[in-house]
Structure 1
Amino acid sequence: MNSKYLLHFLVNNLDFITWLIVVFRQSNRQAKIDQKLNYIFGKASGNPQTIMRSKEMLRLLESIEIFALI
């Protein structure tokens, strides 16, 4: 694509591009939050140490009866 046409496209679609960037950033944040919550509630994936620690976190939450408050 010619750089002149690319520049024209970017200038004319600035609102869409801005919206796209915002959506991408929010989805990236959402994915990180989901991963952290999965870790805390015993649903981590990855290496065995991470999975073991995640399950320990779940047992700790269960031991203080956190789920009774929900």
Structure 2
Amino acid sequence: MYYKDLEPDAEFIIKKDLELYNCMLHKAFKICFDRAYKDVTYSETDQRMIKSFYGTSDYFPLSAIYEAKALVKSL
């Protein structure tokens, strides 16, 4: 299935999900980077912070956190 073949509602939903995921990835990267290189400690876990900030279920935050950790590790 191609993006151009989707109905307008589905296009909008997919676009919003991708934007949300990118925001989560950015925030997760900052958290992971701060922990790894700036010795910052947070009172909550990565997952709990991302979930509470964006108000989502587990799938998107966990995926963003794992990707962010991989990016930080590759530095």
Is TM (by shorter chain) over 0.5? no
TM-score by length of 1: 0.44
Give 1 or 2 for the bigger CA radius of gyration: 1
TM-score by length of 2: 0.41
Which has the higher relative contact order, 1 or 2, with Cα contacts under 8 A spaced 6 or more apart? 2
Richer in helix (by share): 1
